C-alpha cells in the first residue's frame, strides 16, 4: 500500500519523507489556503517545492470547472514536473477531461468521490487514482469504509487499473482498515500516519528493557 501525506505544509512533508515511508503528496485548494499560499505564481512555486522533496506522485488540483479550462490548467500543471498528478473534481467536464488526459498519458486523481458509481465512471474514463472521501462520509453518518469495499469489488470485477486512493482519513484506524480492505493508497495527515507508531505496550516494554539493561550493567 502506498502512503501519501495529505498536506501542503513543507515541514510535515519533509518529516514524513525523512521517515522513509512516503510515496507521494496530496493537496487541495483548502490545504494550500491553510498554508497561506495564494496567487497563481505562489501556488506553482509551492508545487515545485513539494516536487523537490518527494520522489513521485504530487497531486495538484485544478480550480477550473469547464472542460477547456480544466485541460488548459491541467496541462500547465503536468508540464511543471513529471511527478505531478492532475487532480480533477468528479463533475461531468471533469470526467471528460480525465478521458482526455488519459489519452495524453497525463496522470490524474479524480477527487470528491462519494459513491461507487462515481468511482466506476472515473475508472472508465481512465483515471490513475480515484479519491473516495472516507472521513467526510463518516461525518454525515454514512459508512466511508463500506464505499472503499464496494469500489474494490467493482474494480476487481473488471480488472480496472485505476488505484483506490482513500482520502479524508481521520486517524490511524482508518489507515489500518483501508489496508484490510485493499485500498491501493491512503492519503492522511501526518498525525494519522504517526499514530500508527504508537502502542502503550511498546513504550512500557521498551522502558523495561532499557531499565533491565542498565541494572545488569550496574548503572
Q: Which is nearer to ligand E4P, 34 or 213 (CB)?
A: 34
* Closest-CA residue to 131 (of 169, 158, 174): 169
Residues marked as catalytic: 87
Q: Which is nearer to ligand E4P, 152 or 168 (CB)?
A: 168
Q: Which is nearer to ligand E4P, 177 or 187 (CB)?
A: 187
**Nearest-CB residue to ligand E4P?**
168
* Closest-CA residue to 123 (of 164, 182, 89): 164
Distance in angstroms (rounded) separating the CA atoms of residues 60 and 78: 9
Distance in angstroms (rounded) separating the CA atoms of residues 102 and 164: 17
3-state helix, strand, coil in the chain (%, to 5): 55, 15, 30
Within 54-171, residue ranges assigned H as helices are: 67-80, 92-103, 116-124, 134-139, 144-158
Q: Which of 127, 151, 167, 192 binds ligand E4P (CB under 6 A)?
A: 167
Q: What is the size of the binding site for ligand E4P (CB under 6 A)?
A: 11
Distance in angstroms (rounded) separating the CA atoms of residues 33 and 41: 14
Q: Which of 101, 114, 133, 155 binds ligand E4P (CB under 6 A)?
A: 133
- Looking at 44-52, 68-76, 131-139, 203-211, which segment touches ligand E4P (CB under 6 A)? 131-139
Specify the pairing of strand 163-166 against strand 129-132: parallel
Q: Does 7 bind ligand E4P (CB under 6 A)?
A: no
Residue 56 is given by DSSP the state: S
Q: Which of 6, 23, 73, 150 binds ligand E4P (CB under 6 A)?
A: 6
Please give the residues from 135 up to 164 whose contact with ligand E4P meets the rule CB under 6 A: 135-136
Give the footprint of ligand E4P on this chain (CB under 6 A). 6, 26, 28, 111, 131, 133, 135-136, 167-168, 187
Amino acid at each position: 500500500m502506498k502512503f501519501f501525506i495529505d498536506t501542503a505544509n513543507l515541514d510535515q512533508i519533509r518529516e514524513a519523507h525523512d521517515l522513509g515511508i512516503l510515496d507521494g503528496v496530496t493537496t487541495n485548494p483548502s490545504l494550500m489556503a491553510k498554508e497561506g499560499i495564494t496567487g497563481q505564481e505562489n501556488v506553482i512555486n509551492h508545487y515545485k517545492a513539494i516536487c523537490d522533496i518527494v520522489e513521485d506522485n504530487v497531486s495538484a488540483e485544478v480550480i477550473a470547472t469547464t472542460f477547456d479550462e480544466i485541460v488548459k490548467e491541467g496541462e500547465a500543471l503536468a508540464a511543471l514536473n513529471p511527478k505531478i498528478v492532475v487532480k480533477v473534481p468528479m463533475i461531468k467536464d471533469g470526467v471528460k477531461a480525465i478521458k482526455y488526459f488519459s489519452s495524453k498519458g497525463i496522470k490524474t486523481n479524480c477527487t470528491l468521490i462519494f459513491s461507487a458509481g462515481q468511482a466506476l465512471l472515473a475508472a472508465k474514463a481512465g483515471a490513475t487514482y480515484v479519491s473516495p472521501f472516507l472521513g467526510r462520509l463518516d461525518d454525515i453518518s454514512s459508512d466511508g469504509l463500506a464505499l472503499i469495499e464496494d469500489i474494490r469489488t467493482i474494480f476487481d470485477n473488471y480488472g480496472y487499473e485505476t488505484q483506490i486512493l482513500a482520502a479524508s482519513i481521520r486517524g490511524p484506524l482508518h489507515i489500518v482498515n483501508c489496508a484490510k480492505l485493499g485500498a491501493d493508497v491512503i492519503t492522511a495527515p501526518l498525525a494519522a500516519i504517526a499514530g500508527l507508531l504508537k502502542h502503550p505496550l511498546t513504550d512500557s516494554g521498551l522502558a523495561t528493557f532499557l531499565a533491565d539493561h542498565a541494572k545488569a550493567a550496574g548503572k
